[in-house]
Structure 1
Amino acid sequence: MSPLRAAVAALLALLLAACMPSRKDIREAVADARAQQDTAIACDRADHCALASPLRELGDAALDASTPQAPRHHVALLENGPDALLARINLIRAARRSIDVQSFIYAQDDAGFFVLGELLGAARRGVKVRVLLDQLFSVDDVKLLAGLARAHVNFELRLYNPTFGEAQTGPVQFVAGIVCCFFRFNQRMHNKLLLVDGAVGVTGGRNYQNRYFDWDPEYNYRDRDILVAGPAAAQMQDSFDAFWRHQRSVPVAALRDVRRWVERDEGDGAAMDAPRLTDAARILDLSAQADNAALVAQRIGPVFDVGPVEYVSDLPNKAFESNTDAERDLTRRLQTLFLGARERIVLQTPYLVFSGTAQDHFRDLQERDPPPRVIVSTNSLASTDAFPVYALSHKYKRRYLREFGFEIHEYKPFPASAPIDVASTGALGREVANSVPYNALKSSGSGGRERDPSRYATESQRRFGAGSGPGRNVDPGPLPLERAGVRVGMHAKSIVIDDALALVGTHNFDPRSDKLNTESAVIVHDRAFAEALAANILHDTLPENAWTIARRPRPPVLSGVNYSLGKVFEALPLFDFWPFRYATSWEIKPGCAPLRIDDPGFEACYEPVGDFPEVDVPLKSIYTRVLTAFGAGLAPIL
C-alpha cells in the first residue's frame, strides 16, 4: 500500500472510530444495563436441566473416542430447512454450560423470535449465552435491543462493526458510511455458528430468517449446514472467542441509540411489546418435535463417523485496506484445496463471480493434462435474489466455459426435486401453492405433546417481550417470474474435491468473500462423507432441477467474427455493448438422458431456452446488459 493510501485509510478509520463508544463508555453502559438484569436461575441442577439429546451426546462420544494423534468426529449434513431449525432448537435445549451464536443476518420474524426465545430460556436455566451478530443486517429494533441488553445476567449480545456506534443504520448513515469509510463499512462478519458446550457446532449457509428454514410462503433458500461433534469444536470456540473479544464487537448496551432507550426506559421492562408471529402453530409443532429424541435422530438423517475435521475461519480484523493475507485464513486454504484437485471439483455457490486470483487458479487447472472436471451448481436469474451479481456472472460465461472448462448448471426457481418442505412455508391452502412441482420431504408429524398456539405468544412475551414485526427487508428480492409458486433460490456454499475431501461453509467463493467479509468453513477428510455431499450437489444439477449452460447455436455466417468481437468486449471493464453473448440456457428434451456439453449428441438432446428463462421482466436483456457494460468494477463488493 502506498504511503498516501495508507494515510487516507488511517484517517478514515479514525473518523469512523471517533463515532464508536469509548472503552469507558462501554464499561459504564454495560454496568448500567447489568444493574437491571434478571439474576434468577430457574434450575439448580448441575446440568442446568439440559434436555437429553442425541445430537449433544455425539459430542461426548466423539471426544471420548479421540486422541491428539487420532481425532474422531461425528458429522451430519443438514439439507432440509425445518430439520436444520429442529437441530438448533434441540441443541439449545440440550446445552449444559454454554451457547455461542454467530450470524450475519438475524431477522425479526418467526424463526428469529423462536430461536431468541429458546436462547433466553437457556440463559434463565443457568447456561451462559453469548450472541454476536453483524450489525448491518440484523436486529435493528432499538426497543428490542434495549430489552435484550438487560434481559438476564447469563445473556450477552454484541453487534459487530456497528455503523457510527449505533444499532440502527438509516439511509443517511448508510450513504455516510460508504462515503466516509468505504472498505471498513463494507467489511462484514459473514460467519455463521451455533456452538453448544464447546462440543457440538453447526455452521454453513443459513442465517436466522424464515426463508432459510422453509418458513417463507413465497421465496426460500436451498441451503446447507453441517453439524460437527468432536475436537474441531475447540477450533470453533477459539474462532468465536477471537471475534467476541475484538474491538469491533460492541456490547449492545453501549450503542448510543440503545443506551438512550435503556436510560429512558430504566426499570420499566413491561413496556416491551410482544412479538408479532405469523404462524404460532408452526412454532409450537416444531417446538414439540425438538423434545422428541427419537424423532430428532430420525430427522437429522445419516451421521458419519469420520477422522480429521478442520474448522477454518478468517480473523476478525480482515479488511481490504489491511493489505495482508494474514487475516484471510480461509481464502488461502481454499486456494490450496483447488490447486490440489486431480480428477474432479464439484462446486456449489449462489454467486458465480470470481476474484482475479481464483480465475488464475482455474486457468492453471485447465493447463494440466488431463485437467480435472469442474462441475458448478449455481443460481439462474430466475432463482437468484441478487440480480446485479448474476449480471456479472452472465458477462463471463464464455470465459467460464472455454477457459476454465466449467460445466455450469443454473438452478431453476421451481426445481422438480428439492429439499424444500412446502408444508412448512405456509403457502399450502393458497392457490399459489397448487403449481409447486416439488417432491417435497414429508412432514414427520408433531412428534410430541400438543400446545395451545395462543400460549406461545404469552411465553415469548415473558421470555423476551419485544419485537415490532418481521423486521426490515435485507435484500431487494428476486425478479418477477412468468408463473406463480413457492420459489427456491440457491444459497448453499460447498466444495467436493476428488470425492475425498468436502467443504461446507459460509464462503461464496467470490471477491467479497475473498477480500472483505469474514468467512468460515468446515473441511472433512473422509471419502464416504465427500461422496454423499457430492451426490446432493449433483442432484441439484439434474435437468429437472437446473438448466445447463452451453454455447448458443452458432450463427450460419460470421461465427468466428462474432466470437472474437464478443471476447474483446468481455475484456472491457466498461462499454461492453456487444449484443451476442457466447452462452445461453439449454433444456433437456423428453426421452433424453443427461449429457455433458462436449458430448457430440448434446444439441440433439437439448434445446436452447434463452438467456433468462422464466423471468418476466420487460427488456430484461437490456437491464442485464447495462450492468455487464458498466458494472464490472463492482465485482469485489457485490
Structure 2
Amino acid sequence: MPTDSAFRPLPCPRRLSWYGWLAVLLLAWSLAGCGSLPRDVPRPVSNALSQPEQTALGQWLQQRQAADQARHPSAFVLLSGAAAAYGSRLALIESAEKTLDLQYYAIHADASTGRLLRGLVAAAKRGVRVRILLDDFHSAGSDAQVLRLAFVPNIEMRLFNPLAGPRNSTLFRTFNALTDFHRAQQRMHNKLFLADNVVGIAGGRNLGDAYFDQHPSSNFIDLDVMAAGPIVRDLSRSFDSYWNNERAYPVSSLVSRAELERMETAEQAAARAASHAHNTPLAPIWDQTPMDLQSAPWIWAAASVLADKPAKIALEGEGPTTTAASASADPSGTPETPPPAAALPPVLRPGAGTMAVRPGLRSGRDTPALQADSVVDGLLALIQRARQDLLVVSPYFVPGDDMKQAFAQALQRGVRVRVLTNSLASNDAPLAHAGYARHRPQLLAMGVQLFEMRSERAGLRNSLSAGSTAGASRAMLHSKLLVIDGGLVAVGSMNLDMRSQLQNTEIALLIASRALGRQAQGNIDAALIESAWQVTLSDKGRLVWRAPLGSGLEDATSEPDASLPLRLMLQLIGPLAPDSLL
C-alpha cells in the first residue's frame, strides 16, 4: 500500500534467532557504511520554456482571457475527485507541444501511473522535452521500475536527495538512512505537473493507483488545482531551482538500465508486455478521455506561489546548493541560465533558505510582503490575517507551539477555527496520528473545532472526492487545503505538521477568489457534516466522537473504527515519538 509517510515498515522474518538477527544487522550496517553517492556528477542546466505564449496552449489562453474579459491574467480550476485529476493530467500530456515538467514525492509503478507514463513516452517521441524530478525515498523495490523512463530518448529524470546503496534491498537502504539520519529525513515533498509553462497542476496528490481511486482496498481522498497563465511561470521557477540543484542526481549516475531490468519481477514484466501489446486500460469504471481544457470551469483570480527553496534541506555547514556542469538551451532555442535574485518578480524574492512571498492579492487594499522560513510558516502568517473563518484540511496534523499560538490568537479575534484531519482508522501513518492525539485535548479546550475523517467509504458522499467509484474501500484523507475568510484559498503539498515545517520542502498556490473559496468551502462543509466524526469534550473533560449526521452510527468514547492493537499502539508507542519527525 503506497504511503505519503516518510516511514515504511520493514519485513520481519520470524525464523532468525537473536544471533542471526545480530549478524544481519552488523552486516547491513557495515555494508551501509560503505555506500556513498557519486561525486562530480554532470548536471546540465536547463530551464522552463522562455516563450510559452507561442505555443498552442499559450495562444488558447490569450484568446480565452480576451473572450472572458478577465481582470486577472491567471485562471484556476478546482479538481475535486480522482476522475478530474486523472483526466486533467492526460489532457496536459496530450496538449503539450514543447515541454512537460513533473516534480513528485512518489510515483508508484502501477496501472494508473503506467497509463500516464506511456503518454509521456509518446509525448517524448513527438518531440516534447520531458523532465521528471522525483524524491528518492519511494524509488526502490518494485517502484524502481519507474526509473526506466530515464533511458527513453528526450526524457530526462533526476532523483532528489538520494540514499546510497542498492535499490532492491529495503534493509540496506534503511541502514543507509540510519547512518545519515538527518539528511535522510529531509524529503522533497513538492508535487507539480506542468505543460509548456502555460498550464499546470499543483496539490497533494502523488501518482499511483491509491491516489486515483484505483486501489482495491484503500484510496486517498485528494485535491488538486489546475492553473493557467503567468502563475505557472512562478511554479516553473520553483521546479527549475530543484532541477538544477546539486541534490538532484541524474538517474543514470545512480542505477543502470541493466540493473533495473534485473530488478523487474515476473509479474511486472508480464504486465508491461501486455500493456504494450494491447494498451491495457484501467478498470472499466474509468473514463480515460482527457479533460477538455477549453470547456473547463476556469476562474480568473489573483494568485501567488509559496514555495520552499531546495536549500532548505541542505546539510548544516554546506555552501550554495546550485551547481551546473554546463548550460543547455531551452526548447525555444534561446540559451538560458537561472536569473539572478534581482531579476525575479516581486512575488518570488529569495529569502533566508526559502522563497519570500509577496502575495499581491487584492481584497480592497494591498497586502503587505510576507516573509517566511517555510511554506507552513507562511501559512501561519496568513492565518494571522483571518478575521471571520479559518478552515484547515490536513491529513497529518501535528501542531507545534507556534501553530497553536496562531489558532489561539485567531480565536481571540472571534475567528471560527475548524480542522479536518484523519481519524486513527483512516490514517495511513498511525504515528502521525499519535502526534496529533497528544495535542487534541488542548486544541478542543482552546475552542478549535476538530473533525476526523471516517475510514469507511461505504455510503460516503464526499465532495472532495466527487465521482469516486471505489465502492466500500477504506478512505484516507490526503487533501491539503486552507480557506481563510472564504476568499483566500491555499492548496498545495504541505501538511500542518512539524515534518512539513521543519523537514520537508513544500509548495502551495495562494489564490484570492471568492468563487473558488465558496466552491472549496462548500465541498469541505459537506464532508464535515456527512463523512467526519466531530471530536468534542464531555463535561468531565473526556473525548467524545459525535457521529456524522445521517450515518446511523452511535457516538463513540474511543477512537472510532480503530482496532484494539492500533489503539494500544497509539497509547504505548505514541508518547515516545517526537513531533518533529511525525
CA distance in structure 2 between the aligned counterparts of 1:116 and 1:91, rounded to whole angstroms: 12
Instruction: Report matched runs for 1:179-194 at 5 Å.
Output: 180-194=179-193
The alignment partner of 1:317 has SS state of: helix
CA distance in structure 1 between the aligned counterparts of 2:513 and 2:580, rounded to whole angstroms: 33
Equivalence for 2:521:
534
Ranges in structure 1 where 5+ consecutive residues have no aligned partner: 1-14, 31-46, 266-270, 426-432, 434-484, 555-562, 564-581, 593-605
2:139–2:147 CA contact under 8 A, matched in 1: no
The amino acid that maps onto 1:374 is V
Out of 518, 528, 531, which is 1:545 matched to?
Answer: 531
Deviation (angstroms), 1:305: 2.1
**Do residues 508 (structure 1) and 495 (structure 2) align?**
yes
Deviation (angstroms), 1:166: 5.8
1:65–1:72 CA contact under 8 A, matched in 2: no
Moved more, 216-225 or 56-65: 56-65
Q: Deviations over 1:216-269 (max 9, x none)?
A: 1211111100000011011011000000000111110110x326638999xxxx
The alignment partner of 2:272 has SS state of: coil
Equivalence for 1:629:
575
Deviation (angstroms), 1:192: 0.4
CA distance in structure 1 between the aligned counterparts of 2:233 and 2:65, rounded to whole angstroms: 11
The amino acid that maps onto 2:505 is T
Cα-Cα RMSD: 3.6
Out of 303, 310, 314, which is 2:308 matched to?
Answer: 314
Out of 22, 36, 45, which is 2:39 matched to?
Answer: 22
2:144–2:167 CA contact under 8 A, matched in 1: no
Equivalence for 1:4:
none
Q: Deviations over 1:28-53 (max 9, x none)?
A: xx9xxxxxxxxxxxxxxxx9xx9x88
1:62–1:229 CA contact under 8 A, matched in 2: no
Out of 476, 494, 497, which is 2:481 matched to?
Answer: 494
The alignment partner of 1:82 has SS state of: helix
Instruction: Report matched runs for 1:40-79 at 5 Å.
Output: 59-61=61-63, 71-79=72-80
1:338–1:361 CA contact under 8 A, matched in 2: yes
Deviation (angstroms), 1:129: 0.5
1:62–1:73 CA contact under 8 A, matched in 2: no
- The 1:121/1:530 distance shift into structure 2, 3 A limit, reads same
**Do residues 522 (structure 1) and 520 (structure 2) align?**
no
2:147–2:157 CA contact under 8 A, matched in 1: no
Equivalence for 2:379:
334
The alignment partner of 2:523 has SS state of: helix
1:183–1:319 CA contact under 8 A, matched in 2: no
CA distance in structure 2 between the aligned counterparts of 1:493 and 1:534, rounded to whole angstroms: 13
Equivalence for 1:371:
414
- The 1:169/1:553 distance shift into structure 2, 3 A limit, reads farther
CA distance in structure 2 between the aligned counterparts of 1:589 and 1:251, rounded to whole angstroms: 51
Deviation (angstroms), 1:57: 6.7
The alignment partner of 2:396 has SS state of: coil
Equivalence for 1:118:
119
The amino acid that maps onto 1:316 is P
Out of 454, 462, 479, which is 1:418 matched to?
Answer: 462
Equivalence for 1:430:
none
**Do residues 614 (structure 1) and 561 (structure 2) align?**
yes
**Do residues 303 (structure 1) and 306 (structure 2) align?**
no
- The 1:139/1:620 distance shift into structure 2, 3 A limit, reads closer
2:163–2:176 CA contact under 8 A, matched in 1: no
1:550–1:583 CA contact under 8 A, matched in 2: yes
CA distance in structure 2 between the aligned counterparts of 1:23 and 1:142, rounded to whole angstroms: 27
Out of 255, 258, 261, which is 2:259 matched to?
Answer: 261
1:106–1:139 CA contact under 8 A, matched in 2: no
- The 1:227/1:145 distance shift into structure 2, 3 A limit, reads closer
Ranges in structure 2 where 5+ consecutive residues have no aligned partner: 1-31, 45-51, 318-350, 355-372
Instruction: Report matched runs for 1:73-472 at 5 Å.
Output: 73-138=74-139, 140=141, 144=145, 147-152=148-153, 154-164=154-164, 170-178=170-178, 180-255=179-254, 257-258=255-256, 261=259, 275=272, 280-282=280-282, 289-290=289-290, 293=292, 302-306=297-301, 308-319=302-313, 322=316, 325-327=352-354, 328-366=373-411, 368=412, 370-403=413-446, 405-414=447-456, 416-419=460-463, 420=465, 424-425=469-470, 433=471
Deviation (angstroms), 1:627: 2.8
Which TM-score applies when normalising by structure 2?
0.75
Aligned length: 481
Deviation (angstroms), 1:309: 1.0
- The 1:287/1:20 distance shift into structure 2, 3 A limit, reads farther
1:351–1:378 CA contact under 8 A, matched in 2: yes
- The 1:65/1:101 distance shift into structure 2, 3 A limit, reads farther
Equivalence for 1:567:
none
The alignment partner of 1:238 has SS state of: helix
The amino acid that maps onto 1:551 is L
Deviation (angstroms), 1:16: 9.4
1:549–1:586 CA contact under 8 A, matched in 2: yes
CA distance in structure 2 between the aligned counterparts of 1:110 and 1:510, rounded to whole angstroms: 31
The alignment partner of 2:556 has SS state of: strand
- The 1:241/1:273 distance shift into structure 2, 3 A limit, reads farther
1:352–1:378 CA contact under 8 A, matched in 2: yes
Q: Deviations over 1:538-568 (max 9, x none)?
A: 11100x31111001352xxxxxxxx6xxxxx
CA distance in structure 2 between the aligned counterparts of 1:620 and 1:118, rounded to whole angstroms: 41
1:75–1:305 CA contact under 8 A, matched in 2: yes
Which TM-score applies when normalising by structure 1?
0.68
2:165–2:172 CA contact under 8 A, matched in 1: no
Deviation (angstroms), 1:194: 0.4
1:205–1:224 CA contact under 8 A, matched in 2: yes
- The 1:622/1:288 distance shift into structure 2, 3 A limit, reads closer
Query: Which structure has the larger Rg?
Result: 1
Equivalence for 1:596:
none
Deviation (angstroms), 1:108: 0.5
2:489–2:513 CA contact under 8 A, matched in 1: yes
The alignment partner of 2:159 has SS state of: strand
The alignment partner of 1:119 has SS state of: helix
Deviation (angstroms), 1:321: 5.4
CA distance in structure 2 between the aligned counterparts of 1:488 and 1:146, rounded to whole angstroms: 29
CA distance in structure 2 between the aligned counterparts of 1:238 and 1:383, rounded to whole angstroms: 35
Deviation (angstroms), 1:144: 3.8
1:552–1:608 CA contact under 8 A, matched in 2: no
CA distance in structure 2 between the aligned counterparts of 1:399 and 1:108, rounded to whole angstroms: 42
CA distance in structure 1 between the aligned counterparts of 2:511 and 2:420, rounded to whole angstroms: 20
The amino acid that maps onto 1:311 is V
- The 1:131/1:408 distance shift into structure 2, 3 A limit, reads same
- The 1:263/1:493 distance shift into structure 2, 3 A limit, reads closer
